[in-house]
Amino acid sequence: MSLAIFDLDNTLLRGDSDHAWGEFLVEQGVVDRERFTTENDRYYAAYLAGTLDIYEFLEQHQLRPLAEHDRAMLNRWRDEFMRTRIGALITPAARALVDRHRARGDTLLIITATNSFITTPIAAAFDIPNLIATEPEEIDGRFTGKVAGIPSYREGKVTRLTDWLHDRHDTLEGSWFYSDSHNDLPLLNMVTHPVAVNPDDQLAEYARIRGWAVMELA
pLDDT in tens, 102-121: 999 999 999 999 999 999 99
Give the sign of the dihedral formed by CA 132, CA 137, CA 140, CA 142: negative
Give the Cα separation of 10 and 16 in Å (integer). Answer: 6
- Please check whether the domain covering 3-215 is classified as CATH 3.10.129.10: no
pLDDT in tens, 48-80: 888 889 999 888 888 999 999 999 999 999 999
- Annotated catalytic residue 7: yes
Q: Is the pLDDT score of 1 beyond 80?
A: no
Of residues 9, 16, 18, 180, which has the active-site annotation? Answer: 9
Of residues 7, 18, 180, 184, which has the active-site annotation? Answer: 7
- Global confidence as pTM: 0.94
pLDDT at 40: 78
Q: Is the pLDDT score of 133 beyond 80?
A: yes
pLDDT in tens, 137-188: 999 999 999 999 999 999 999 999 999 999 999 999 999 999 999 999 999 9
Single-letter residue type at 7: D
Residue spans of the domains in the chain: they are 3-215
CA dist 128 to 5, 120, 125, Å? 10, 10, 8
Sheet order of strands, 176-179 included: 142-148, 130-139, 107-115, 3-6, 176-179, 193-197, 213-215
pLDDT in tens, 75-112: 999 999 999 999 999 999 999 999 999 999 999 999 99
Give the Cα separation of 117 and 195 in Å (integer). Answer: 27
Buried b (16+ CB within 10 A) or exposed e, 151-188: bbbbebbbebbeebeeeeeeebeebbbbbbbbbbbebb
Q: How confident is the model at residue 19 (pLDDT cuts 50, 70, 90)?
A: confident
